[in-house]
């Protein structure tokens, strides 16, 4: 599976879960939100979004449902499952731990 090269493995999963934790969304809305909050830094192409969503769904972390959107179009909406919420909590804690450690190291002044 091709991934954005500079995205740490698992990070995209966490971002998607986090986005869906706020509210259920369809694929397009997710892609817009991703661009918006990460200011395009992460460079997640629309193409790599769907395989990632499908993987999360098959892990049981999110689920999908066909629903009508406000302008009366059928779209597939993704939402977080109980299991996904738990996983997100774990991953977030993990991320915080690791990123604190890494940024601590990065900030070390060279002697």
Partner 1 sequence: MGVQQWFYSLPMRLRSLFRPHQVDQELREELREHLDQQIEANIAHGMSREEARYSALRALGGITQIEQQCRDARGGIFFEDFVQDLHYGFRQLFRSPGFSALAILCLTLGIGANAAVFSWMEGILFRPYPAVAHQERLFAIGGTAPGESRGTPLSWPDFIDLRRNCTLCEDSFVSKITGSTLSIGDHAETATGSIVSANYFDAIGVRPILGHAFEPSDDVGSDSHPVVVISYQLWRNRFKGDPEIIGKMQRFNNVPHTIIGVAPQGFYGTFVGWAMQFWVPVNMEETFENDGYKLEDRNARWIEAYVRIKPGVSRAQAQQEVSAISAQLQSSYPATNRGRGMQLWALWQTPFNNAGSLLPTLEVMVAVVAFVLLIACANVGNLLLVRSLVRRHEMSVRLAIGASRLRLVKQLLTEGLLLSALGTAGGVLVAYWCRHALVLLLPARSGISMYLPGEIDGRVMALSAAVCLLVTLVVGFIPAFQTRNLDVAGPLKSESVGVVGARGRTWMRSGLVVFQVCLSFILLVGAALLLESLQKIRTTNPGFLTTSVVVTGLPLLTAGYDLPGAKVFEDELIDRLSVLPGVESAAFAAMTPLGYGSFSSTPIAVDGYQPSLEEQPTVEYNQVSPVYFATLGIPVLTGREFTRADNENAPLVAIVNRTMVLRYWKGEDPIGRRLQVKGRWARVVGVAADSKYESMRETPRPFFYVPLRQEFTLRSALNIRTHQPLQSLRTALMREVHALDGNLALYEMITLQEQVNRSTSPQLVAVTLVSILGGLALLLAGVGLYGVMSYAVAQSTRELGLRMALGAGAANLLRLVISRGLRLTAGGVLFGAIAALALTKLLGKLLYNVSPHDPWVFGSALAVMALTAVSACLLPAWRAARTEPARVLRDS
Query: Which chain residues interact with partner 1 by CB under 8 A?
Result: 1-2, 26-28, 31-32, 45-48, 50-52, 54-55, 57-61, 63, 73-76, 81-83
Closer by beta carbon to partner 1, 54 or else 97? 54
Task: Supply the minimum distance, in Å, between the C-beta of residue 32 and partner 1.
Answer: 8
CB closer to partner 1 out of 83 and 102: 83
Q: How far is the CB of 106 from partner 1 (least distance, A)?
A: 32
Structural contact between residues 1 and 51, judged by C-beta atoms closer than 8 angstroms:
yes
Angle at 16 between CA 14 and CA 17, to 5 degrees: 65
Q: Least separation, in Å, of the C-beta of 29 and partner 1? A: 8
Nearest-angstrom CA–CA distance, 57 and 51:
10
Select 52 or 95, whichever has its Cβ closest to partner 1: 52
């Amino acid at each position: 599976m091709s991934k954005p090269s500079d995205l740490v493995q698992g990070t995209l999963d966490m971002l998607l879960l986090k986005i869906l934790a706020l509210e259920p969304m369809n694929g397009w809305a997710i892609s817009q939100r991703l661009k918006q909050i990460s200011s395009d830094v992460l460079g997640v192409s629309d193409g790599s979004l769907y395989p990632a969503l499908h993987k999360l769904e098959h892990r049981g972390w999110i689920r999908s449902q066909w629903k009508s959107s406000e302008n009366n179009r059928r779209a597939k909406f993704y939402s977080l499952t109980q299991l996904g919420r738990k996983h997100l909590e774990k991953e977030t804690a993990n991320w915080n731990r690791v990123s604190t450690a890494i940024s601590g190291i990065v900030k070390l002044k060279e002697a």
